[in-house]
Chains A and B, each alone.
Chain A
Amino acid sequence: AQSVTQPDIHITVSEGASLELRCNYSYGATPYLFWYVQSPGQGLQLLLKYFSGDTLVQGIKGFEAEFKRSQSSFNLRKPSVHWSDAAEYFCAVLQTDSWGKLQFGAGTQVVVTP
Chain B
Amino acid sequence: NAGVTQTPKFRILKIGQSMTLQCTQDMNHNYMYWYRQDPGMGLKLIYYSVGAGITDKGEVPNGYNVSRSTTEDFPLRLELAAPSQTSVYFCASSYGTGTHQPQHFGDGTRLSIL
Contacts and interface: CB of A to CB of B under 8 A. Distances in A.
Interface stretch (A13-21, A38-46, A66-74, A76-84): A38-46
A32 interface: yes
A94 interface: yes
Nearest to B31: A100
Given A43-B4, A43-B90, A45-B105, A32 B41 contact: no
Interface string B28-68: 00010000000011111100101000000010000000000
What's the dominant secondary structure at chain A's contact region? loop
Contacts of A42: 107-108
B102 A90 contact: no
Contact of A94 (B92, B99, B105, B108): B99
B103 A102 contact: yes
A106 B45 CA distance: 13
B97 interface: yes
Contact of B99 (A36, A41, A51): A51
Measured as residues with beta carbon below 8 angstroms from the partner, the interface class of chain A is: 20 to 34
A45 B90 CA distance: 12
Contact of B40 (A9, A43, A102): A9
A105 B107 CA distance: 19
Which 6 A/B pairs are nearest by Cβ-Cβ distance?
A: A100-B97, A43-B105, A104-B42, A44-B105, A104-B43, A51-B99
Interface of B: 4, 31, 40-45, 48, 50, 58, 90, 92, 94, 96-103, 105-108
19 contacts: A41-B108, A43-B107, A43-B108, A44-B43, A44-B92, A44-B105, A46-B102, A46-B103, A90-B42, A100-B94, A100-B96, A101-B48, A101-B58, A102-B43, A104-B42, A104-B43, A106-B41, A106-B42, A107-B40
Given A43-B4, A106-B41, 11 more contacts: A32-B99, A34-B102, A43-B107, A44-B43, A44-B103, A46-B102, A90-B43, A94-B99, A100-B96, A102-B45, A106-B42
Interface of A: 9, 32, 34, 36, 41-46, 49, 51, 90, 94, 99-102, 104-107
